[in-house]
Amino acid sequence: MRRLADAGVESPLLDAQLLMAHAINGSRLGVIAHPERAMSVSEYEQYVEAINKRADRCPLAYILGHREFYGIDMIVGSGVLIPRQETELLVDECIARLRGKQNCIIADIGVGSGAIAVALAANIGDAKVYGTEISADALKVAQANIEKHGLSDQIVLLTGDFALPIIEADLLCDAIVSNPPYIPSKDIESLEPEVKFYEPLLALDGGEDGLSAYRRLYPECFGILEDGGFLMFEIGIGEADCVREIAENAGYGAIEVLCDLAGIERVVIAYK
The domain limits of the chain are: 2-56, 78-271
Strand partners, 156: 130
CA distance 166 to 205: 23
**pLDDT tens-digit series, residues 72-127:** 999 999 899 999 999 999 999 999 999 989 999 999 999 999 999 999 999 998 99
Q: Dihedral through CA 232, CA 235, CA 239, CA 241, nearest 10?
A: 20
Q: At CA 59, angle to CA 56 and CA 64, rounded to 5?
A: 110
- Phi, psi for 226 (deg, rounded to 5): -65, 150
Quickly list H helices, 10-87.
Answer: 12-23, 28-33, 41-55, 60-64
Average pLDDT over residues 26-31: 88
- What's the CA gap between 32 and 27, in Å, rounded? 9
Residue 34 has pLDDT above 90, yes or no: no
Alpha carbon of 19 to those of 7, 41, 100: distances in Å? 16, 15, 42
Could you give the CA distance from residue 149 to residue 170 in angstroms, rounded to a whole number? Answer: 28
Which residue from 54, 16, 49 is spatially nearest to 35, judged by alpha carbons?
Answer: 16
Q: What percent of the chain has a predicted confidence (pLDDT) above 70?
A: 100
Superfamily of domain 78-271: Vaccinia Virus protein VP39 (3.40.50.150)
Lowest-pLDDT range of 28-37, 62-71, 113-122, 156-165 = 28-37
The pTM assigned to this predicted structure is 0.94
- Are the CB atoms for 54 and 15 separated by under 8 Å? yes
